[in-house]
Chain A
Amino acid sequence: MRRNGAMPWVTAYAVLIALPLFFALVRPLPPARGFWVEFGVGLGFVGLAMLWLQFALTARFRNVAASLGLDTMLQFHGRAGVVAIAFALAHPAVLIVAQPVYVEFLDPRVSAARALALIALIGALLLLAVLTFKRRPLGIPYEWWRLTHGALGFGVLFLGTVHVLRVGYYISVPWKQALWITAGVAAAGLLVHTRVVRPMLLRRRPYRVASATAERGDAWTLAFEPVGHAGMRFTAGQFVWLTLGKSPYSLQQHPFSFSSSAREDRSLGITIKALGDYTARMGEVKPGTNAYLEGPYGAFTFPAEAPTGVFIAGGVGITPIMSILRTMRDDSDQRPVTLIYGTSELSRTLFADELSRLRDTLQLRLVHVFEKPHPGWDGPTGLITRELLERVLPPSASGYHALVCGPDAMMDVAESALRANGVPLERMRSERFNIV
C-alpha cells in the first residue's frame, strides 16, 4: 500500500460502524435479554451502520480518493455492500430463530404498516444485490441501474433508520435518538451531495468537445476545452467522470482516463474504445457538444521519486499510460521506462505510431505483444503471460515502479508476476477500468 495508505481510513470505517454498538451499551440500559436476541440486534446495528457508510464510499471525496484510488473505493463499496446486506438480513433471521415471537414484526395482522415497511426493506435489500450483480445478464441499461441503485439505497436508509427509531429499545433517551437521526440525515445528505449538489456545481464549469478523432481499433479521442473558466489541472494517469450533453444531471456518467499530456490543460484529451452501448456511440459525438468533466480522480500516477518505470498495458488500458508518456515528453523526463503493451494486432493498436516516435525522445523500451502477429513480426505473441513478463521485466533491484492497466485477467497475471519479481506493493499501482 502507499505511504499515506489505507490503514487510517479502514480504522475510521471500523470505528464508525462500531459506534452504534458502543452507544447501545451506554446507560441507561434496557432490561437484558438472551445472548442470541442481543446478537441478532447487534447484527442489525452493524448492518445499518455499514449501509450508511456505503453513501460515504461513493461520495467521491477528493482527499480520500487521492490516497486510496477511486477504483479501490468502489470495489470496497461493492464488497462491503454484500456484507452489509448479509448483516441486515441476518438480523431478522437470527432474532426469529432465537425468539419465534419476533415473526410478528412481519405479520400484517399485528401491524399492517410495520409489516409492509419491513417486508419492503427486506425486498429492497435483496433487489439491491440482485440488480447489481445481475445487471449485465439481465440486460439492464446502466442509467436505469444507477437510478434504481440510488433510489433503493435511499429507501433502505430511510426504512432502516425509521425501524431503529420505532423499535427504540436501545434509544430511549433523547440524545441517543438525536444521534441516530443525525447519522441517517448525514447519509441521506451524502447521497444528495453526490447526485444533486455536485452536478449543480459542475454546471458552472462546462466544457465543449473541440474535436473528435478516430483512432485505431474502434477508439475515439475527444478533446475538451473549458468554456468560460480555466479548465482543470490533473496528474498524468488520472481520470474524470464524463457527462455529455446539456444537463450535468444525466444518469450517463462514466469514468474515463485522460490520454493527453497533463501539460495541455486547455485541451483535455480522453480516448474511448467502443466496448459497451455507451462507448459505441462516441463516434457520433460532434465537435461543439456540451460536456461536464468531474474530477480529476485516481492514484494511478508515476511518482516523481520513482527512478525508473515499468508500464504494463492491455488494450485500451494504454490511455492513462499514454498520458504519462506524453507528459514525460513535455517535461523532457529522461527516466528509463519499459512499456509492455498487449493488443490484438498492429492495425488495431492504439497510439502505435506515436509510441514508435516517443522512443526517439524518451528513454522508452517498447515491448509490443500481439495476439495476432502480422507477417514478419518476430517479437512476443499471444497474451501477456507470466512467462513473458519474467523474460522482459527488469530486475526488481533497479527500484522500478510498476503501473498496470488492462483487462482483469491480464492484471491478475501482471500483478502476480511483479510480486514474484520482488516488487513490493508500494511500488505497484494498478487500475481496473471496469469499475462500474
Chain B
Amino acid sequence: MRHVRARRVVLALAVGFVLLVALFAWLRAGAGH
C-alpha cells in the first residue's frame, strides 16, 4: 500500500506546489497595481 501512498502523496504535493506558485505569481504581479 505504501507505494500507492508515495505516488498519491507526491501527486498531491505537485498539485499543491503548482497552486502555491500561482499564488506567488498572483501576489507578485498584483503588487505593482
Contact = CB atoms under 8 A, between A and B. Distances in A.
Interface residues of B, number: 26
Interface string B6-19: 11011001101100
A87 B29 contact: no
B1 A38 contact: no
B2 A35 contact: no
A13 B14 CA distance: 12
Contacts of A80: 10, 13
Contact of A33 (B3, B6, B7, B28): B28
Contact of B10 (A25, A76, A419): A76
Interface residues of A, number: 43
A42 B24 contact: yes
Interface stretch (A67-75, A335-343, A368-376): A67-75
Interface in A65-96: 69, 71-72, 75-76, 79-80, 83, 86-87
A39 B21 contact: yes
B10 A21 contact: no
Interface string A392-427: 000000000000000000010001000100000100
A311 to B, nearest CB: 16
Contacts of B25: 35-39, 41-42
Given A83-B13, A83-B14, A430-B1, A32 B32 contact: yes
Nearest to A36: B25
Prevailing SS type, chain B contact patch: helix
Contacts of B13: 10, 13-14, 17, 80, 83
Nearest to A82: B10
A6 B5 contact: yes
B6 A21 contact: no
Contacts of B33: 32
Given A31-B32, A83-B14, A72 B21 contact: no
A75 B6 contact: yes
Point out which of B14, B16, B28, B33 has the most chain A C-beta atoms below 10 A from its C-beta.
Answer: B28
16 contacts: A1-B5, A13-B13, A14-B16, A24-B28, A29-B28, A32-B30, A37-B25, A38-B28, A39-B21, A42-B25, A69-B2, A72-B2, A72-B3, A72-B6, A79-B10, A83-B14
Interface of B: 1-7, 9-10, 13-14, 16-17, 20-22, 24-33
Q: Which 9 A/B pairs are nearest by Cβ-Cβ distance? A: A32-B32, A42-B21, A38-B25, A39-B25, A35-B29, A79-B10, A38-B28, A75-B6, A42-B24
